[in-house]
Amino acid sequence: MAALCPVMPVDHHCVDAQAWAALARHMHAQGARLLTLWGDDTRALRGGFTVYACWLHGQALTLAELQLPPGVTHYPALHDLFPVAARLQRAMRDLLGVQALGMDARPWLRHAAWPDDVFPLRHDAPAAPACGDPALERYAFIGVDGEGVHEIAVGPVHAGVIEPGQFRFSVVGEKVLRLEERLGFTHKGVEKRFEQLSLADGVRLAARLSGDSATAYAWAYCMALEALAGVQPPARALHWRAIVLERERLANHLGDIGAIGNDGGFGFALAQFSRLKEDVLRMNARVFGARYPMDAVQPGGVAVDPDADACESLRAQCDSLQVEVQRLKAILDQHEGLQDRFKTTGRVLPELARSLGLLGLAARASGQDLDLRCLPGFAPYDRLGVKVAVEMGGDVAARVAVRFAELFESLRLCGELLATLPDGMVATPMPATIAPGLALGVVEGWRGPAFIALHAGPGTSIARCHPHDPSWQNWPALEWAVIKDIVPDFPLINKSFNLSYSGHDG
């Protein structure tokens, strides 16, 4: 039997409701992070729905599979132990009609886009349901009472060219007492769309879940599909996947550092780092055929194999970026006004980060030593000795420091990957058909782990595909990070996380 995940051991438990709750308590006691939660309409196969939970613990995954009896649409809740579950449970209820006991009754993804008695991920759901009644779905934000307290409503439409999200601030003067988010405005029905695609075509949709993480999601999808097919990509293909992934990390960190500097009142940073990001994207277009190479990673390997001259251009750009980023970092580090804005602003201390289950760069900036590129079985990273950037401050300054450290490490990794590029093919042929089953893919993208749970159906069909973005874990942390800071610092704090709307909303 093929491994559930090629890069991590998976402890798979088929449980009843009582064992589900017991396993959740055990995972919490062990300090595991709830990675994701999803459900499946398996009534035709088993008579009832199936609920899945996946935890990340050290260098392994634990997967719980709860098969609900026919007619049962509730299961033991996880939100008391794992805060991220609160919103995941609401999303599952909106999409599948399966409810956690004692959960928040407010919708999360639905936004009156379909009636409250229609559940799109059920196989008997109408293809094009009527919209719900917005007048009946006024969202009940939680208020804060007290002398001098007032609310500031922001969004869902913003002044900048960003995706929609709604934020409700409770403030006294300019000090933030509470922030509540409402997301889901960019829900596109991608999990339903996956069911209409073949296993081979699903990678195109996976790469477009969150455009700035195209390589991470495409790799995670291919990892799961290759596990189902029993296919091992060639070593040369894995090197190219890692190179494209690290260049994705480079582009995003460069852009974010510039934008964070701009929100701190230092427009020079935006101009200079935007220039460097543009250089990376133009080189991508020249070498890989697209500024954002969404279709570079393909099942069985990659669709690109640049020649020696292109490899030399990539190496030369890494050398140039190393010098320029070092020079700009010194300027930012010595800018007292900017550092004053960064330090102690938007803090998420290590204990809170552990409690919330933060992932990715936001977690590493809050003392969490977690980077899946360090997994012992994750080729080709397992031969490169990835240096994990960890800061303890948990503030904007720490998140910027992690970005700089990861920039320099990505440049080093790209250089080593290019210098040790193996000979050979860049793709292994995929079989014509794949047996039904479940496999998991997880890749450390620039924002954190991009996760795919892929259920293969008969022939070449997708029975179910559940993607998960680390923004699910990190959006709630933003609500904590702004407390006791002032409203004008929110754009700076928000940008220091730079979480995905599209990847989260699905």
Mean of pLDDT over the chain: 96
Residue 2: predicted pLDDT? 64
**pLDDT tens profile 297-345:** 999 999 999 999 999 999 999 999 999 999 999 999 999 999 999 999 9
φ and ψ of 56, to 5 deg? -105, 120
The pLDDT > 70 percentage for the chain reads 99
Q: Is residue 239 pLDDT above 70, yes or no?
A: yes
pLDDT digits (tens, 9 = 90+) for 211-231: 999 999 999 999 999 999 999
Say yes or no to pLDDT of 155 above 90: no
Q: What is the pLDDT of residue 135?
A: 65
Average pLDDT of 52-80? 97
DSSP lists the bridge partners of residue 455 as 438, 464
What's the whole-number mean pLDDT along residues 282-298?
A: 97
Is the sign of the CA dihedral 491, 497, 501, 504 positive or negative? negative
pLDDT on residue 1: 47
| Residue partners of 202: CB distance under 8 A and separation at least 6 | 194, 221, 225, 454, 462, 465
Q: pLDDT for 163-189, tens place per residue? A: 899 999 999 999 999 999 999 999 999
CA distance 363 to 388: 12
User: How does pLDDT run across 255-285, given as a tens digit for each residue?
Assistant: 999 999 999 999 999 999 999 999 999 999 9
Edge to edge, what strands does the sheet with 437-444 contain? 437-444, 449-456, 462-468
Nearest CA among 117, 91, 149, 154 for reference residue 504: 91
Domains of the chain, first to last = 10-139 (3.30.460.80), 144-183+472-506 (3.30.390), 193-206+215-229+430-469 (no CATH), 232-428 (1.10.645.10)
**What is the value of pTM for the model shown?**
0.97
pLDDT score for 79 = 98
pLDDT digits (tens, 9 = 90+) for 431-487: 999 999 999 999 999 999 999 999 999 989 999 999 999 999 999 999 999 999 999
Q: Considering only CA atoms, which of 330, 360, 327 is closest in space to residue 449? A: 360
Q: What is the pLDDT of residues 107-142, one digit of tens each?
A: 999 998 898 899 999 999 998 888 877 766 788 899
